[in-house]
Structure 1
Amino acid sequence: MSLTVKDLEKLQKQAPDYRMELVNGSIRVMSPSGYESDEVAFRFGRRLADWVEPQRIGRVTGSSAGFTLPDSNTRAPAVSFVRAERLRRAPRSCAQLAPDLMVEVKSPTDSIEDLEQKINNFLQQGTRVGILINPETHLVTVFRPDTEAIQFTDGEILTVPDLLPGWQVQISDLWSPVFDEFEEQE
């Protein structure tokens, strides 16, 4: 039996504490991502939103914002960006389009292959840039349709000039900080 977006919405109302995606007619319950991967996603999203919002060029969302793609899958990237001219008003439910940029962050339970497959599905549905962030290896991989992936490591600067001209982020700024020493607040 192949499920639909309506089925997903009904199940989501019945179990609001669970994040779900609709993939090829089946419901996937998404597990919590893990602390580090969520912190990395937040750090990326915050840096992107801090640049996008003052310019009013689009919307940046986190992992709970779903997209119903042209192939009828409903997926939720860790971070996404949609240009303002494509989504003038935020929908109350899932956006009925592919985001311009989508980001996935590897958690301890994720496989790189599954994340790359998800990114490629988004690219096939109209997403212009997909980014895979791996906190375990400090590696960021940028995917675009019909081109070879590009990898970035610590010491390098990530840019997306074809979509976000002028935006940049140091790869090393994405990782969770380590607090070796700290002073106790009085």
Structure 2
Amino acid sequence: MGLTVRELAKLQADYPDYRMELVDGEVSVMSPSGYEADEVSTELSRVLGNWVRPRQLGRVTGSSAGFVLPNSDTRAPDVSFVRAERLRRSPRSFAELAPDLMVEVKSPTDSIAKLRDKIQDFLALGTQVGILINPESRQVEVYRLEQECVALGDGDTLTIPDLLPGWEVAIADLWPLVFE
């Protein structure tokens, strides 16, 4: 028998320096992301949050915000968005729902296949849009349940009209700057 969400919360409180997820009752300790991957996820969070907050559309969080999903797993995407009508107040602990949007940014230690599986798990549990960002290949993959993946690269623009009408970001603007 695996751990419960309550047991995970206690374990997380006992070891606050470790990021943990609960998948099928098993604890997974998450290693720190690479610098580039974190810079990309921070940039996406900043751009998204700067657009969402003044419009009071919902909540944007980073990789430390956990979600207790409908199947009782506790997971934390690199970036997430929850519409205001679904989460009127921020919970002190984990949000007990699937985010409307979840984003994973590949770091050097991540497996693309496992990240794609994680996105599919979220979609199956109610997330509307899942995004995989791969800084190594400068590619972005956009997933929706039972739809073909949309692949984007430099020169393309990421939009999510079904969740965030009017919001957009150029793919090339997600990558870290190079200072000369």
Residue 12 of structure 1 pairs with residue 12 of structure 2: yes
Give 5+ residue unaligned stretches, structure 1.
181-186
- Aligned pair count? 180
Aligned to 2:144: 144
Q: CA deviation at 1:125?
A: 0.5
Counterparts of 1:63-74 in structure 2 under 5 Å? 63-74=63-74
Aligned to 1:183: none
Q: CA deviation at 1:175?
A: 0.3
When the two structures are superposed, what TM-score results if normalisation uses the length of structure 1?
A: 0.96
Q: Larger C-alpha radius of gyration, 1 or 2? A: 1
Counterparts of 1:107-186 in structure 2 under 5 Å? 107-180=107-180
Aligned to 1:94: 94
Q: CA deviation at 1:105?
A: 0.1
Aligned to 1:28: 28
Counterparts of 1:42-61 in structure 2 under 5 Å? 42-61=42-61
Query: For the residues of structure 2 that align with 1:152 and 1:13, how far apart are their CA atoms?
Result: 39
Query: For the residues of structure 2 that align with 1:4 and 1:112, how far apart are their CA atoms?
Result: 28
Q: Which amino acid aligns with 2:108?
A: P
Q: Which amino acid aligns with 1:155?
A: G
Where 1:81 maps in the other structure, the secondary structure is strand
Q: CA deviation at 1:2?
A: 1.1
Query: For the residues of structure 2 that align with 1:57 and 1:13, how far apart are their CA atoms?
Result: 31
Query: For the residues of structure 1 that align with 2:57 and 2:159, how far apart are their CA atoms?
Result: 16
Query: For the residues of structure 1 that align with 2:17 and 2:138, how far apart are their CA atoms?
Result: 31
Query: For the residues of structure 1 that align with 2:37 and 2:95, how far apart are their CA atoms?
Result: 24
The alignment-based identity, stated in percent, is 66
Query: For the residues of structure 2 that align with 1:2 and 1:156, how far apart are their CA atoms?
Result: 43
Aligned to 1:184: none
Query: For the residues of structure 2 that align with 1:17 and 1:136, how far apart are their CA atoms?
Result: 27
Q: Which amino acid aligns with 1:54?
A: P
Give 5+ residue unaligned stretches, structure 2.
none
Instruction: Tell me the alpha carbon deviations over residues 165-186 of structure 1, each in whole angstroms, 9 at most, x when there is no partner.
Output: 0000000000011112xxxxxx
When the two structures are superposed, what TM-score results if normalisation uses the length of structure 2?
A: 0.99
Where 2:115 maps in the other structure, the secondary structure is helix
Query: For the residues of structure 2 that align with 1:9 and 1:51, how far apart are their CA atoms?
Result: 32
